[in-house]
Amino acid sequence: MRSGLSYAGRDMTIQSTDHRDFVSGLSAGDRQHLTARSDAAGLTALALHWGAILLTGGLILISPPGWPLLLLVLMLVQGILIIFLFTLLHETVHMTPFRTGWLNIAVGYICGFLVFLAPVWFRYFHLAHHRHTQDPSHDPELASPRPRTWREYVAHISGLPVWRFQLGVLLRNARGQGDEPFVPSKARGRIRNEARVMLAVYGALAALSLAAGSTALLFVWVIPVLLGQPFLRLYLLAEHGRCPQVANMFENTRTTFTNRMIRRLAWNMPYHAEHHAFPTVPFHRLPELHEMARQHLRVTENGYARFTRAYQKSLSQSPR
């Protein structure tokens, strides 16, 4: 197999360093340094991300009514900024963006609310994904197969399946009917209450908007996240798409080399193999971990555009 959807041009027969051996081989000083969390680093990145959302939202609200193309561009930018809060939500699951525990929890709740994903439920989902990465019997991310045909690919990239899934999760959990094996029974009451609160707040915001005759939330939040979701789908597909179903995180997860803007937008999660190998390393230390682990990576790609082209070439030629 060749670079793109394989082992970055390396022969598949080469013996790979297991991620557990790599982590255990780090010195105690290196592990302590790499896992040091920082409120300053987290709050700086948060201010930039949330500040960009507030700025773009303000520009949407004051955009001239006769300039629909400008409005569309602003909503697209806003949508990408908001939907990529998923990567920060993902980091708060690991309690790593901030040193202060309550900050991780509070920011996780806000991000989850904005991307319509219940944070407590997602914590159990995501930790199961880390425990069973690329295990088709236990990894909840593999419950819905990644697209193999053009028809499946177009549906996946549209974002419609993930919206349907997330709404279904909220409604089932609000009714107390969630039965996922990765959720412990002791947490089901909390997850039920979480879903009910989220749905109640969404309903209240919708009612207030209707009563006020305001479309502000529609143009600043709802439509933008619909526009931004396809970009998140393309990004997330690169994390494990077409990676081997093996236990070694240096083989079952892809690191994608990209520019600083995308790394900042995604909270350094393009260093994804490194994150899976050592998930307690906070986002701001991942570049350092990457330099230590780089020679052991087996699945990499030079940019998301290259990955997307390679993935599309691998799709079977079913009707679009």
pLDDT interval class at 317 (50, 70, 90): low
- Based on the number of CB atoms within 10 Å of its own CB, is 119 exposed (0-12), middle (13-18) or buried (19 or more)? buried
Over residues 36-57, the pLDDT tens digits come to 999 999 999 999 999 999 999 9
Q: Quick one: pLDDT at residue 16?
A: 63
- Residue 240 reports pLDDT greater than 70: yes
pLDDT in tens, 201-214: 999 999 999 999 99
Percent of the chain with pLDDT over 70: 93
pLDDT tens digits, 95-150: 999 999 999 999 999 999 999 999 999 999 999 999 999 999 999 999 988 999 99
Average pLDDT of the residues in 17-36:
94
**Mean pLDDT lowest for which of 15-19, 149-153, 156-160, 266-270?**
15-19
Domain ranges of the chain: 30-146+215-313
Q: Over the chain, what HEC string results?
A: CCCCCCCCCCCCCCCCCCHHHHHHCCCHHHHHHHCCCCHHHHHHHHHHHHHHHHHHHHHHHHCCCCCHHHHHHHHHHHHHHHHCHHHHHHHHHCCCCCCCHHHHHHHHHHHHHHCCCCHHHHHHHHHHHHHCCCCCCCCHHHCCCCCCEHHHHHHHHHCHHHHHHHHHHHHHHHCCCCCCCCCCHHHHHHHHHHHHHHHHHHHHHHHHHHHHCCCHHHHHHHHHHHHHHHHHHHHHHHHHCCCCCCCCHHHHCCEEECCHHHHHHCCCCCCHHHHHHCCCCCHHHHHHHHHHHHHHCCCEEECHHHHHHHHHHHCECCCC
In this prediction, residues 277-288 reach a mean pLDDT of 98
- pLDDT of 65 reads 86
Q: Model-level pTM? A: 0.92
Is residue 193 very low, low, confident or very high in pLDDT (cuts 50, 70, 90)?
A: very high
Q: Looking at 1-10, 74-83, 176-185, 304-313, which range is the least confident one? A: 1-10
